Amino acid sequence: MKRLITFIIAVAVLASCNNEEKELNKDISVPVSVIDLKLQSIEKYIETTGTVSPVKDVSKKSEITGHYNLLTNPATGKKYALGDYVKEGEEIIRLEDREYENNIKINSLKLNLEISKQTFEKQQSLYEKGGVTLSELKNAEINYINSDYNYKDALIRLEKMHIKAPFSGVIVDLPYYTPTTKIDANALMFKIMDYSKLYMEINLAEKDLDFVKTGQKVKITNYTMPEDTLAGIITQISPAINADTRSFKTVINISNSELLMRPGMFAKGEIVVASADSAIVIPKNVILSKQRGNTVFVVDKGLAQERLITFGLENPEEVQIVSGLEKNDRLVIKGFETLRNRSKVKVIK
């Protein structure tokens, strides 16, 4: 009998403790952090990566033999060097060869051109007066044309001694030669790049073919400068799918006017395929995936309310909510993991 009484007392004590614990738990508020939902824009994009290349680059080689003479850059007052910016038509290297220059006989050809021109003009005047035949006039014209051709050809050959920048850009390769060294024809003189405009060839998955169009905007970033975003645009799309990789080639042109990105850099691209304005947008990391669907918690009058939500546009970080949330709802972004519907909460910063 004593044992029974002892057992009943123990059960009563335990029940009393449990009731006290439940009452205590009712008064506990879970600390959470919230944000007030505002309407904002969202973009759906396809992520890709690739290596950027300059739209314009050239390796300039010598066309003749000559003695090497690296000129002075007027912008720096020093000999041209790697990294120097040069303008189109700027002479960088001169190949000197007196024998080559003399053999062209530019002065003689110029004088011959002047004489043949005067003769042709004189024959034209005489022909109009009947002083010469048409055959004589044609011969004078042919002589003048040949003289003009020979003179212009000589100028072209002389110009080969002056190695100039074919377009404005930056010197990215400049092999060293000892001054006055005799250079053979077809030797590399310098390499210039204009990387104010870049392009990137990428391969996109077959499933993305229907979403990607020429003219679409692309956000370009580099891992070494994540804060700087460059503007790109899709300019070419191959209609053919690679049978081995199940991908298709796409070309992106990139504006790089401030030269923030360098040729050869590895870049990340976000191809914007859809967008929405004035939308409810939330971070993906606050969403709970349950059997009945995706849910989040909002705070209303000190209580947590679980909301079933429906997705719209989404990207790797954010998602548009088309039902389940409204503007000015207080969305729980921290402390939601252990919440239950109607849990008491305390909002903290």
What domains are defined for the chain? 29-42+277-347 (2.40.420.20), 45-53+196-276 (2.40.30.170), 64-191 (no CATH)
Torsion angle of C-alpha atoms 110, 115, 118, 122, degrees rounded to 10 = -160
Contact 32, 348 (CB under 8 A): yes
Q: Which pLDDT band, with edges at 50, 70 and 90, does 132 fall under?
A: confident
- Rounded to a whole number of angstroms, the CA Rg of the chain reads 39
233-281 tens-digit pLDDT:
999 999 999 999 999 999 999 999 999 999 999 999 999 999 999 999 9
What's the rounded mean pLDDT across residues 71-91? 97
Q: CA 331 to CA 305: how far, in whole Å?
A: 10
Contact 296, 333 (CB under 8 A): no
pLDDT above 80 (res 21) = no
DSSP-assigned states of every residue in 83-106: T-EE-TT-EEEEEE-HHHHHHH-H
State the amino acid at position 228 in one-letter form: D
DSSP-assigned states of every residue in 12-43: HHHHHHHHHHHHHHHT--EEEEEEE--EEEEE
Q: CA 25 to CA 340: how far, in whole Å?
A: 13
What pLDDT shows up at residue 17? 46
